[in-house]
């Protein structure tokens, strides 16, 4: 149920009046962090993106609450959980945000860095509390009813392959290249599937699974809870399937989750992670198969964004006069 406050009438369509704000926020973050592409300072890039998003959201026509922000688990710059933004003259809404997904990609000038955000009706985004990590499965719509997070990787591969009408040997699986995934990657390879192992960026990996133009069939493994909730907004919009379960990576995190009264064995569906009307936005920073990096052309700056909402995928081109932001003190 959406919170009510004084001002304009609230209804389920209100959230979509904020799409332009979300696009402006990720575009601003992409422009700010682009100056740090290839400079091997991921925290500075993250801080630039965070400041840019916060400035845009401060003037949003409504009252947004950050339900889940990125950065706390890494002690990086962040929009903090519970932070409120906006001018109050519009709908209340929930925010899940990662101003710079793929900080290492940005720092090392590798493809895949994105500015990402999701807006949802007030009260509809799941809060992970002190949980920073979650185990996830993301699949396209054809396989959404067959997956179970308690299945073995081999059984999951078999069921997804059957749902997609292809042999396991033709499946393309995204699993982040982390030490915690070594055994999972080995089992998936042994089962015959191909594995794409990005260093980070499970939102981008999930989009490769969900989008018709994507290059993957399934995402498995443990990633961040902020990325999980934002992914769920995209999954909900595109009719895909997703399951998640808290997966603490340190004893202190597990103890905090239990102290908060949360069940480490509970499996959350996509509709539990995002229970109301929502949309997801991403803007490209360092390029890649999903979105191009911002670039200059004939006195203008071109950038690309993706908006996923209510069964629709929109690719948006931003064209502004001028040049890309540059770091102070560096030659033009």
Binding residues are: 46, 70, 98, 101, 227
Closest CA to 195 of 153, 235, 163: 153
CA dist., res. 178 & res. 114, Å (int): 20
CA distances, 131 to each of 7, 46, 80, 201 (Å):
35, 21, 14, 18
CA dist., res. 159 & res. 63, Å (int): 43
CA distances, 201 to each of 115, 198, 307 (Å):
11, 7, 18
List residues forming the annotated binding site for Mn(2+).
46, 70, 98, 101, 227
Closest CA to 234 of 318, 161, 141, 303: 141
Closest CA to 118 of 276, 286, 284: 276
According to DSSP, the β-strands at 172-174 and 218-224 are parallel
């Amino acid at each position: 149920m959406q919170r009510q406050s004084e001002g304009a009438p609230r209804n389920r369509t209100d959230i979509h009046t904020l799409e332009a704000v979300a696009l402006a926020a990720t575009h601003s973050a992409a422009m700010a962090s682009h100056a740090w592409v290839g400079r091997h300072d991921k925290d500075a890039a993250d801080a630039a993106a965070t400041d840019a998003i916060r400035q845009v959201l401060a003037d949003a026509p409504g009252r947004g609450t950050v339900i889940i922000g990125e950065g706390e688990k890494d002690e990086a710059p962040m929009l903090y959980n519970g932070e409120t933004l906006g001018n109050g003259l519009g709908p209340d809404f929930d925010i899940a945000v990662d101003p710079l997904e793929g900080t290492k990609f940005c720092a090392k000038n590798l493809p895949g860095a994105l500015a990402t955000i999701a807006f949802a009706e007030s009260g509809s985004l799941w809060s992970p509390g002190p949980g920073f990590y979650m185990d996830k499965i993301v699949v396209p719509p054809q396989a959404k009813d067959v997956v179970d997070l308690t299945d073995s990787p081999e059984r999951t591969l078999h069921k997804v392959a059957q749902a997609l009408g292809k042999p396991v040997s033709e499946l393309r699986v995204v699993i982040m290249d982390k030490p915690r995934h070594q055994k999972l990657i080995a089992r998936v390879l042994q089962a015959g599937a191909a594995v794409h192992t990005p260093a980070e960026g499970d939102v981008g990996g999930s989009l490769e699974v969900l989008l018709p133009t994507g290059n993957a069939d399934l995402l498995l493994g443990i990633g961040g809870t902020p990325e999980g909730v934002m992914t769920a907004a995209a999954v909900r919009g595109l009719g895909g399937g997703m399951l998640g379960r808290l997966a603490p990576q340190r004893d202190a995190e597990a103890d905090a989750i239990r102290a908060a009264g949360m069940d480490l064995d509970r499996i959350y569906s996509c509709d539990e992670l995002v229970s109301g009307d929502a949309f997801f936005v991403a803007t490209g920073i360092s390029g890649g198969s999903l979105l191009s990096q911002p670039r200059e052309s004939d006195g203008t700056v071109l950038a690309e964004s993706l908006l996923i909402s209510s069964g629709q995928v929109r690719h948006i081109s931003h064209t502004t006069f001028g040049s890309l932001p540059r770091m102070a003190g560096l030659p033009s």
